[in-house]
């Protein structure tokens, strides 16, 4: 499934290079207009990242996200700066279909396990954003990728699987914002090891060939941000390579 994404800092559509806030590209676009365009082209799900909130949870862009959700018909998933159950409830109440939890899944694992049980597997998606070291260990980063969490992707999957983990978004941080292609080996590995989880791939997508490669690697969905913003291809073309409807032949 194709999931177009926008990242927001203080109301502006941006992209970061490898999660680095000092390497920021600002796009002169209306967030709502851009997401409406993606929706019109056939996107059933849209992904919004509150980068201001990810860096400083006290500065979460809740009012803007509310405006966006109210102006769209597609399903919305939102991540960035979510630290409390009240914030989860707030997002679900404004119509967000899925809340993406990153740092807290590492630092407060038991709390997020309880949310999976309380709100259901379809309402919570873990964001397991990884730095891969020379030994191949996939270490999950926290705090808007500003620090390492000290836990591996495999350890977190093992911790959450008994509590009904169904959706997880995995980003290879070294690929994010680089347009260098996705880490298909990573997605092949986790799809094989954990077939019960619906994996969303993210990071490095530049071409329709990259989209097809991630599809063939076994991921269930793909988050596409920068490549759409710079018009390397559009949502309709991406969906043609990875149809949202079963039975449609891909490109």
Helices (runs of H) and strands (runs of E) counted in the chain: 11, 12
Instruction: Give the 3-state secondary structure percentages of the chain, helix then strand then coil, rounded to 5.
Output: 40, 30, 35
Provide DSSP, 145-167. Answer: TTEEEEEEHHHHHHHHGGGT--E
SS3 at position 93: helix
172 is catalytic: no
CA 134 to chain centre: 25
SS3 at position 120: coil
Q: Which of 7, 50, 172, 210 is catalytic?
A: 7
> Please, which residues have CB within 8 angstroms of residue 29's CB and are 6 or more apart in sequence?
13, 229
Q: Which of 50, 73, 122, 129 is catalytic?
A: 129
> Catalytic residue numbers?
7, 129
């Amino acid at each position: 499934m194709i999931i177009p994404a926008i990242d927001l800092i203080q109301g502006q559509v941006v992209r970061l290079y490898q999660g680095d806030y000092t390497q920021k590209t600002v796009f002169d676009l209306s967030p709502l207009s851009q997401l409406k365009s993606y929706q019109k082209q056939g996107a059933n799900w849209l992904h919004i990242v509150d980068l201001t909130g990810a860096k400083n949870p006290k500065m979460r862009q809740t009012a803007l996200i509310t405006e966006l959700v109210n102006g769209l018909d597609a399903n919305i998933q939102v991540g960035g700066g979510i630290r409390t159950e009240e914030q989860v409830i707030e997002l679900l109440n404004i119509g967000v279909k899925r809340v993406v939890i990153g740092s807290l899944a590492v630092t407060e694992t038991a709390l997020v396990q309880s949310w999976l049980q309380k709100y259901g597997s379809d309402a919570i998606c873990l964001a397991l954003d990884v730095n891969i070291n020379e030994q191949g260990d996939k270490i999950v980063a926290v705090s808007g990728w500003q620090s390492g969490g000290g836990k591996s992707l495999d350890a977190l999957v093992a911790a959450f699987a008994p509590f009904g983990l169904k959706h997880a978004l995995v980003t290879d941080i070294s690929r994010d914002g680089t347009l260098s292609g996705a880490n298909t080996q990573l997605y092949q590995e986790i799809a094989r090891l954990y077939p019960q989880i619906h994996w969303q791939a993210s990071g490095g997508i530049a071409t329709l060939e990259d989209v097809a490669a991630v599809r063939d690697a076994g991921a269930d969905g793909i988050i596409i941000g920068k490549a759409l913003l710079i018009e390397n291809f559009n949502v309709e073309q991406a969906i043609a390579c990875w149809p949202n409807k079963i039975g449609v032949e891909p490109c």
